[in-house]
Amino acid sequence: MRPSVDQIWTWLDAVPDPEIPAISLVDLGIIRDVGFDGETCVVTVTPTYSGCPATSVINMEIKAALHDHGVERVELKRQLSPPWTTDWISQSGREKLEKYGIAPPQAAGGPEKCPNCASTNLERLSQFGSTPCKAQWRCKDCLEPFDYFKCI
């Protein structure tokens, strides 16, 4: 029997991002559509950054997760337009990021507060970080460096 589209979304919401396992692929906003073409489940995915090395792992994990739930035929579609934006990160995703120690993206272009001590006395160390989607900041009160999720 074919699972419902809602069921597929729920399963995908349990697949962690390979580089930031605190949030799911659905939280990240990169799953753009789920549907069926006959018996084939079609999942439309948009890349975060064009060179993000996690993209191929993400595709593999989507297939693996759905196969585990008995969905035999899975087709992945890449969608470039409209391009991914950090506005698509869900509210729960933002909260999970902050709890994990990564300041969520802000339209102002920098973190709102330190994810460790909530201070707003912050400085930027580098516009880039350990993955394409992050930058390095530091709290000038608790002195902890932390990742900031770049706003794009």
Choice between 14 and 152, CB closer to another protein = 152
- Binding-site size, another protein (CB under 8 A): 20
Binds another protein (CB under 8 A): choice among 16, 42, 49, 90:
49
Binds another protein (CB under 8 A): choice among 2, 33, 126, 142:
126
- Does residue 76 bind another protein (CB under 8 A)? no
Binds another protein (CB under 8 A): choice among 1, 6, 68, 80:
80
143: its two tokens: 């002195």
**Complete edge-to-edge strand list for the sheet that includes strand 31-37:** 31-37, 40-45, 74-78
**Complete edge-to-edge strand list for the sheet that includes strand 145-149:** 102-103, 145-149, 134-139, 122-126
In the complex, least distance from residue 17 CB atom to another protein, rounded to whole angstroms: 17
SS3 at position 4: coil
Contact between 151 and 106 under an 8 Å Cβ cutoff? The reply is: yes
- Piece of the chain touching another protein by CB under 8 A; list 12-20, 47-55, 65-73, 87-95: 47-55
